[in-house]
């Protein structure tokens, strides 16, 4: 595991300084590949099954698969993140936010979870929270495509809103 963690740290360091869209996307893809690794064949199959279910719109089945994964490997951040995504797709935003919090507890640099959290916060009208989350995301990946526009949009909304 130390090699995996070192590799992740190196990819995140490069992500902070990457400016080209293709480079940012390639680095993110490399990070996702490491996040999706799990050293248990049965749990790996359950993760794949949940991802297939989610892609097919079978969100409840996906949630069950990811719950199984979480119960058997609670320290595995991606299990929490995938279930957060399935909850989000079902419109269960509070449940999604709870799982995002668990994801970030285990992997504070999880840009997917941060992006999802900011989206939900903005949907729920928590623009200040969304701005804080987007700023946190910007510290990890300042050149994430579309991020600067999102930051400006949220800031504009806050500037326009009455106190």
Q: Each residue of 95-108: b (16+ CB within 10 Å) or e?
A: bbbebbebbbebbe
d(Cα 74, Cα 99) in Å, to the nearest integer? Answer: 11
Summarize pLDDT for 110-139 with one digit per residue, the tens: 999 999 999 999 999 999 999 999 999 999
Q: Is the pLDDT of residue 1 over 70?
A: no
Is there a contact between 77 and 110 (Cβ–Cβ < 8 Å)? yes
- For the chain, the structural domain boundaries read 1-37+114-163, 41-108
Q: Name the residue among 136, 92, 145, 88 with its Cα closest to residue 114.
A: 136
* Res 145 pLDDT > 80: yes
DSSP readout, 80-109?
HHHHHHHHHHTT-HHHHHHHHHHHHHH-TT
The whole-number average pLDDT for the span 7-20 is: 95
pLDDT of residue 102: 98
C-alpha R_g of the chain: 16
pTM: 0.93
Residue 141 DSSP symbol: -
Which of the 8 DSSP states describes residue 125?
Answer: T
Task: Read off the pLDDT band of 161 (50, 70, 90).
Answer: confident
Assign a CATH topology to domain 41-108: 1.25.40
How does pLDDT run across 74-107, given as a tens digit for each residue? 999 999 999 999 999 999 999 999 999 999 999 9
What's residue 163's pLDDT? 58
- Cα–Cα distance, 147 to 142 (Å, whole number): 7
Question: What is the pLDDT of the chain when averaged over all its residues?
Answer: 95
């Amino acid at each position: 595991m130390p090699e995996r963690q070192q590799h992740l740290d190196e990819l995140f360091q490069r992500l902070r300084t990457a400016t080209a869209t293709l480079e940012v996307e390639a680095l993110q893809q490399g990070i996702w590949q490491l996040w999706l690794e799990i050293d248990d064949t049965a749990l790996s199959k359950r993760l794949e099954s949940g991802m297939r279910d989610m892609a097919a719109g079978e969100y409840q089945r996906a949630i069950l698969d990811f719950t199984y994964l979480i119960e058997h490997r609670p320290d595995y951040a991606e299990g929490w993140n995938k279930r957060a995504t399935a909850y989000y797709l079902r419109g269960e935003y509070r449940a999604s936010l709870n799982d995002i919090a668990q994801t970030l507890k285990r992997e504070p640099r999880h840009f997917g979870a941060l992006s999802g959290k900011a989206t939900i916060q903005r949907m729920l009208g928590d623009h200040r929270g969304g701005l804080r989350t987007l700023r946190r995301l910007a510290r990890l990946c300042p050149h994430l495509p579309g991020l600067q526009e999102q930051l400006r949009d949220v800031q504009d909304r806050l500037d326009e809103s009455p106190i």
